[in-house]
């Protein structure tokens, strides 16, 4: 079963209406041994978005189908695999890497990506002694054409504030311990500039094709909260 965004919003609004009624749907099959209600009250933000969408649709300013198509595109068709292809090309082709680092928009467009929320891209390169990580301290600016929609943690207040105050501590929580001699650079995205981290190519990946390289690259590595791990050794059984 697929749940569309509109189903989700409708469900959220319905749940808000029912928020005062305890949800007993779980009561018949198990006993939790605690007394809180298992209903999901939608956030203020969800309700505000719904209200805004209804109003804009009512006034004929927004076409609901177009809105759904746009969101579906970023939810299902555009994602971190795009960025992974950019990274893999940069690893495999030094001339491309140079173009990516000097004019990211044009280099990313060469592979066919661009558009909304990716108009002014900057690629920053991780090396053995420099680690870059990306945040948007104001809101959640993120390079949509190469990474898709931002993950929840990227938009969270703790990440947005702590990435700047204590980047090493945040990276440690992501499981990345950097040695003291590695310089950490934190880039604050804005509506004008979006950053893509070009991770370090892992050892042991020399023999891989561009496609195989792309498969190693994760979203988190391109935001700079992880490294790209070396390829798994082939196991023969
Ligand atoms: Fe932002």
Tell me if 9 is assigned to some domain.
Answer: yes
Question: 187 - beta bridge partners?
Answer: 134
State yes or no: is 140 an active-site residue: yes
Tell how far the Cα of 154 is from the centroid of ligand 1, in angstroms.
10
pLDDT tens, residue by residue, 18-28: 433 334 344 34
Tell me if 230 is assigned to some domain.
Answer: no
Marked catalytic residue, from 43, 139, 156, 209: 139
Marked catalytic residue, from 54, 128, 141, 179: 141
State yes or no: is 25 an active-site residue: no
Which domain, by its residues, includes 59? 5-77
Tell me, yes or no, whether 151 and 176 share the same domain. yes
Q: Structural domain tally of the chain?
A: 2
Tell me, yes or no, whether 160 and 124 share the same domain. yes
pLDDT at 39 over 70: no
Three-state SS string over 111-143 comes to CCCCCCCCCCEEEEECCCCEEEEEECCCCCCCC
Q: For residue 74, what pLDDT band results from cuts at 50, 70 and 90?
A: confident
Tell me, yes or no, whether 140 and 165 share the same domain. yes
Nearest to 184 by CA among 224, 216, 149: 224
The pLDDT value recorded for residue 4 is: 52
């Amino acid at each position: 079963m697929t749940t569309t965004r509109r189903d989700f919003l409708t469900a959220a609004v319905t749940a808000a209406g029912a928020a005062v009624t305890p949800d007993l749907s779980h009561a018949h099959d198990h006993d939790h041994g605690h007394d809180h209600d298992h209903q999901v009250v939608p956030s203020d933000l969800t309700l505000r978005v719904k209200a805004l969408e209804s109003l804009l649709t009512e006034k004929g300013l927004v076409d609901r189908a177009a809105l759904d198509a746009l969101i579906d595109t970023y939810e299902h068709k555009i994602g971190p695999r795009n960025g992974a292809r950019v990274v893999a090309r940069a690893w495999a082709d030094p001339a491309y890497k140079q173009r990516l680092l000097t004019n990211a928009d044009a280099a990313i467009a060469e592979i066919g990506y661009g558009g909304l929320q990716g108009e002014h891209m900057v690629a920053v390169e991780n090396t053995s002694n420099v680690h870059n990580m990306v945040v948007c301290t104001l809101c959640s600016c993120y390079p949509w054409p190469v990474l898709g929609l931002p993950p929840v943690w990227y938009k969270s207040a703790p990440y947005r504030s702590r990435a700047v105050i204590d980047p090493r501590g945040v990276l440690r929580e992501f499981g990345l311990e950097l040695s003291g001699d590695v310089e950490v650079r934190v880039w604050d995205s804005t509506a004008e500039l979006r950053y893509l981290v070009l991770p370090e190519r892992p050892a042991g990946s020399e023999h891989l094709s561009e496609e195989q390289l792309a498969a190693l690259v994760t979203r988190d590595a391109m935001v700079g909260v992880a490294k790209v791990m070396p390829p798994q050794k082939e196991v023969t059984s």
